[in-house]
Structure 1
């Protein structure tokens, strides 16, 4: 979801960019969660990790329960406000590592008439998929089957321009300079649910590399889904397995994630969240004309897109999961159960995302990013795929996790609804602080009105 605060380096164009209807180019939490500060991130020094929270002095079980209840009340209030602002539904899950997680599911009455939302429902995770793909690549590195310094040309000969200069690490941390395949008009019908074509990693990569590179490899950062189309093609080439099988065999089964899989069509494996977009007559003016007509089941000014095929996301965004499953995944990842120490360190070695703020701004690791907020340092990714917006966060140990799932996407993608965006910001800020067992700081006061001119 590009915005004025996003450090995106995609060239501007008079035509609307299909990539905006894909998923976020940035960590949504970076501009939304209060103010990022004091983040020192670099490939040489490595990312700053959060200091442990001090032990509560003189705390009692009743005091802990009282704090948890206050936290739940605050989060539930903010979730209801987000629904009142126009979100069809929202799921929140926060585990501060100190007790029973907070789980909230709020839903608009009209959406509840279709199906009652539950906190454990399956959800399309969009670009959060990239974290799992990076983990699989690093597992193969630990097994000696690839090296992060390998040029792309070694694995995909002739498929990537300047492939001898682009390494696998550059793909994984978005410093390759490859343009984004979701900006190509060929993919737009799939984004809108109108094209049943089953995209392969190689096809998505071929679409992405048709346009000129954004910059010389390794010289800048720019979020690109094409990077992960290439990663997916490399993983398939090395293992001879499908991406769905790799997710199942290397992550979901070992961690007993019963509701986590890579979608291969529009079907779901279990009970799931229904995602919605406004129909063309009710789409806000801020959404470009190219994205106003979404396929799906139409009813009362809205389109249910749950049956649409998300396969165009591929290695960049086709994973389905739940809030609880993702918490278990982050716990296993950050605690070292999925990767040896050397590979986990590589995953958390970051490059600056914002050229205007290279030291204190957010950092991009391999398939995950980091930013320091007043409440603590978070590692996270977010995702947006038609009908579904998601953010997943954790601390540096994986003992604290949080998730926000919202069952619509275009209104956030284009900033087309200021009230909805503000409500989403408030909820995500509170969720981030709640993960660290802290209350969200009070919002900054509105600037005082200018004095009336003297007469």
Structure 2
């Protein structure tokens, strides 16, 4: 979530405003030049030498990311003209939990918003909703001043609603310190106890609360659960076999789910945002290198803002179908790609309706990023949907730098990998000089 972080990135205000805030920044050339020549992926006989070189370069950068401190990383690049490049690398201490593979399932965090927005816009196409509908029409009495907040404002984060991820009680659940299951209505109620940040429609501020409200509206309109709507309208038709919405806590332990990790209580403190109460730490079994395993943490607060689980291949198929116009009529895809400026610290990003336009060192891409405890992801396509890229990392705060003291080398190494993967997708050379292109969390 914080912009996914549930910290849906955007706990952005929250958690990954830290070092992930620059995920598409350009320290590429330096990082690429110094990448250790380890873990090179060998191309099958007959593959064009340029693709083999690209794959080898990404493998080196993925290994460098792990060597710098990332517990694990998955990279998938599909240029739409042959077999996709797929790479997985992990730290030795994580292997006892799970052997990481490029086909593993992953908690998608705020990438979920793109899928939820697609469902909502499909309902608009069917004339069951309108972008001008006030929230009060569908959720009477649940949102203060809901008559002035439209569905469009919820979709593009201009509602002014307080971000529930920064609510102390919800934060305890997000970090696993509270194991009770939260319902979406309880999450919404916790958020609206706080004053709005601004009058509806007058500014932008990423808020996971917006998508909790949208999930409830979609359920109210259809009479179906949000998880069923995703399956019926997106996952089923696109044959996404490993894509589903997690709705609670204590789900069956799926062996295909990659394990996620966060720094333990002794190490996470200097990485936390100012609003985190003293003693905030992630719950989970202790692991080597000062981490805890957050794989089975309480996920009940994520839901429509960050609760999807998927694979890099499944998400690429969804992203490609969406951007190429297979899931929405042209007029609504145009609405989805109509953007507003994001916060000033993300000048290269603009937010549409559950979709981001991102200016990178190698060109403009469309997609989203996501975070859930132990998981960070970047998922993008070109403007046609033919080319796709995903970079999944099995930590949020393991990439962040402390507020004081030496920087964490895993942050720049991960940024270099994301940049290189995007440039590879677009068949562009990695810039030889640093380019400033901060990403959302």
Could you tell me the TM-score, scaled by structure 2's length?
Answer: 0.85
Do the aligned residues in 2 keep the contact of 1:287 with 1:414 (CA within 8 Å)?
no
Check 1:375–1:299 CA distance in 2 against 1; reply closer, same or farther (3 A cut). closer
The equivalent of 1:346 in structure 2 is 335
Q: Quick one: which of 263, 286, 291 aligns to 1:298?
A: 286
Provide the rounded CA distance (Å) in 2 between the counterparts of 1:276 and 1:30. 19
Alpha-carbon distance in 2 for matches of 1:71, 1:167:
45
- Give the 3 Å change call, closer, same or farther, for CA 428–166 of structure 1 in structure 2: same
Name whichever of 253-262 and 368-377 sits farther off.
368-377
1:247 and 1:261 in contact (8 A); partners too: yes
SS of 2:379's equivalent in the other structure is: strand
Structure 1 position 32 matched with structure 2 position 25:
yes
2:303 equivalent to 1:314:
yes
Give the match for residue 272 of structure 2: 287
Larger of the two Rg values belongs to structure: 1
Q: Among residues 65, 83, 87, which one is paired with 2:66 in the alignment?
A: 83
Tell me if the contact between 1:151 and 1:166 (Cα under 8 Å) persists in the aligned partners. yes
Measure, in 2, the Cα distance between the counterparts of 1:228 and 1:100: 35
Which residue is equivalent to 1:386? 373
Is 2:218 the counterpart of 1:235? Answer: yes
Shift of 1:313: 0.6
| Corresponding residue of 2:312 | 323
* Deviation string, structure 1 residues 207-265 (Cα, Å, up to 9, x no partner): 11111111111111110001111111111111111111111111111111011000123
Bigger shift: residues 184-193 or 121-130: 184-193
Q: Distance in 2 between matches of 1:30 and 1:351?
A: 20
CA distance in structure 2 between the aligned counterparts of 1:86 and 1:25, rounded to whole angstroms: 16
Answering whether residue 7 of structure 2 is matched by residue 20 of structure 1, we say: no
Residues 297 and 304, structure 1, Cα contact 8 Å, conserved in 2: yes
Coordinate RMSD, CA, aligned: 2.8
Structure 1 residues 367 and 435, CA gap change in structure 2 (3 angstroms): same
Which structure 1 residue ranges, 5 or more long, are not aligned? 4-9, 11-16, 36-61, 446-455
TM-score w.r.t. length of structure 1: 0.83
Equivalent in 349, 363, 382 of residue 362 of structure 1: 349
Q: Residue in 2 aligned with 1:45? A: none
Q: Secondary structure at the match of 2:147?
A: coil
Q: After alignment, is 100-109 or 288-297 more displaced? A: 288-297
Structure 2 gap segments, 5+ residues each: 4-9, 29-44, 436-441
Give the superposition deviation at 1:395: 1.0
Higher mean Cα deviation, 285-294 or 257-266?
A: 285-294
TM-superposed deviation, 1:107: 0.6
**C-alpha spacing 1:33/1:382, structure 2 compared with 1 (3 Å):** farther
Pick which of 292-301 and 240-249 moved more: 292-301
Q: Out of 243, 257, 262, which is 1:272 matched to?
A: 257
Q: Would the aligned equivalents of 1:266 and 1:306 in 2 still touch at CA under 8 Å?
A: no
Report the Cα distance in structure 1 between the residues aligned to 2:142 and 2:19, rounded to whole angstroms. 26
Query: Retained in 1: the 8 A contact 2:69–2:399?
Result: no
